[in-house]
Amino acid sequence: MVSLSLLLAGVAATAASQDPAVAVDVPEQHPADYFSVPSTERAFWAETFQNTTTTKLFEGTTWVKSAGKKYREQKISVKRGSKLLGKFAADKALVLDNKAQHYGFAAKLPEPFYLDGSKGKKSLVVQYEVKYPEVVKCAGTYLKLLRDSPTLNVTDLNDKTPFTIMFGPDKCDKNNKVQFIFNHRNPVTNMYEEKALQISPEVKNDKLSHVYTLAIHDDNTFEMYADLNLIKNGSLYTLFKPAVLLPKEIDDPTDLKPTTWEETEFIPDPAAVKPAEWDEDAPRTIPNLSLHQPPDWDEAARGPWRIIQWMLNLESNVWQPMMSNPEYRGKWSPPMIENPDYVGEWEPRKIPNPDYFDDPHPARMDPIGAVALEVWSMSENIRLDNFWLGHNLNDAKKFARLTWQLKHEAEKKAVQMEPEPKKPTPPESKKKDPNVFDRIDEAVAWVV
């Protein structure tokens, strides 16, 4: 007869196989048997790394390492999570193994990814997870969505490879921002120019996984999320520098200010005369010849009487008490009056801007042909996971709730379970015979 516990286990396993989002209690010894990610069928392209290994990652046709010289030593793995994460111990992620190293790799998309305002392509959504093993001082883990072209070869990836969008966390020293930069083409000059978000949110910098989401819409607005919380939104026209649109008019470079144009609003009064009694040579301080000990000075209560304000008399080269000179006036200058010839600030005349253009759809950027990462980091074991490209923001959020959010809660519990690092034990010799500085520190600490 089949036991009730075995029957219930079979029902749970069947439910998990039918709905990959169902959470199942996972035995510690076999977490992989019970873990799977939700369906990604509603994504344009997704990468969860669940169906690959370190050895297979770059063997297929999707992910390719750059052949660039500075990326030659890059070491990339696909690894499971910590055993403290329960069923998420089997969640695989791409790991940048070493610190102080350049990484460059990319995944070619099966077809170009873009929005054009047509049905089903009114938004462009990018989402992925980043996990630092520690609070980082320097790590740029942003994505580059490379511009599609017939000549795009991800093997040649380098920092000059044209991109359409750059998005993600970038933390190094004082630079601390979630980057959002897009390349915009001027239809008049046919030249590209990077448009960078002027005021960017800060990076979430701790030991937990964080999910970053960018949505660009056909109405030329955007939204940025961190951990499913809105951190920035607005217009592509107004929040980026340089601005998407150039001014319609510019200053005429041939228009010169007339030599007779007077821009000075106030001038010294030419009729003013220095008063006869104004002595510019009078010193700021003079000897205080009347300074004596007050007759009621109580030395027993207040101590010996002393002259506090002593200065060197430059005339006699003798130190003596000084006082402010009541006759001191300083250098005389005439009062200011309104300039009768004042015209105002001159400005050149305006002319039509020959480079002006109107772009009603800056959100319809160049198609994207590949997802790339170019990373420099001073931290090791940075984890990247659950890449998602799509056309529906709600689909991306739902996927994040079924992956990142559940894992994030498990990570917070795991951090609480981590043993506190042991404090180093001082050597025995130092315990028995502390040096004089140790004794001074102990004495100061005792007094305080």
Give the domain ranges of the chain. 23-245+360-417
Q: How far is CA 256 from CA 38, 42, 252, 276, 351, in A?
A: 67, 61, 9, 46, 14
Residues with Cβ within 8 Å of residue 184, at least 6 apart in sequence: 192, 193, 194, 195, 244, 359, 362, 365
Q: Single out the residue of 90, 69, 67, 72 nearest to residue 80, CA to CA.
A: 90
Question: Facing residues of 213 across strands?
Answer: 127, 225
Q: Are 391 and 113 in contact (CB under 8 A)?
A: no
Thinking of the domain 23-245+360-417, which architecture would CATH place it in? Sandwich (2.60)
d(CA 170, CA 175): 7
pLDDT at 136: 79
Going residue by residue through the chain, which has 448 residues, state the pLDDT in tens, using 9 for 90 and above.
444 344 334 434 443 333 333 333 334 444 444 567 889 999 999 999 998 888 888 886 689 999 998 998 899 999 998 888 888 888 999 999 998 889 999 999 999 999 999 999 999 999 999 999 888 788 889 999 999 999 999 999 999 999 999 999 998 888 899 999 999 998 888 899 999 999 999 988 888 999 999 999 999 999 999 999 999 999 999 999 999 999 999 999 999 999 999 999 999 999 999 999 999 999 888 877 776 777 887 888 877 766 554 555 555 666 667 788 998 999 999 999 999 999 999 999 999 998 889 999 999 999 999 999 999 888 899 999 999 999 999 999 999 999 999 999 989 888 877 777 666 666 665 555 555 445 444 443 443 3
pLDDT at 319: 61
Q: Are 76 and 47 in contact (CB under 8 A)?
A: no
Q: Are 96 and 358 in contact (CB under 8 A)?
A: no
DSSP secondary structure string, 115-169? --SSTT-SEEEEEEEEE-SS--SEEE--EEEEEP-TT--GGG--TTS-EEEEEEE
Q: What is the dihedral of CA 372, 373, 374, 380, to 10 degrees?
A: -160
pLDDT at 421: 66
d(CA 76, CA 63): 11
Strands 368-377 vs 101-113: parallel, antiparallel or unpaired: antiparallel
